[in-house]
Amino acid sequence: MTSSESLGKRVKFLRKQLRLSQLELSIDSGVNKNYICDLEKGRRNPTLDVLERIADALGVSLEGLFKGVESIPGL
């Protein structure tokens, strides 16, 4: 699994923990919904700015966005 795929699974895991839809995360972060979808599927390499906005919307630090990637069920 690539790092992009691992990051995407982490974003999806955190989003689902908060019971947010991709659209809700998109609105909260100011990131296009299609971009969120592609990110979760490992098809995007987001910039630091995008990662910070997504982390803020998920209520985690930037470090927290990456922390625990290896322990996500299904990885």
pLDDT above 90 coverage of the chain, percent? 75
Tell me: the pLDDT tens digits for 32-63?
Answer: 999 999 999 999 999 999 999 999 999 999 99
pLDDT-based confidence at 23, cuts 50/70/90?
very high
The CATH code for residues 3-68 is 1.10.260.40
pLDDT-based confidence at 18, cuts 50/70/90?
very high
Residues 26 and 69 sit within 8 Å (Cβ to Cβ): no
**What was the pLDDT predicted at 74?**
57
Return the domain boundaries, the chain.
3-68
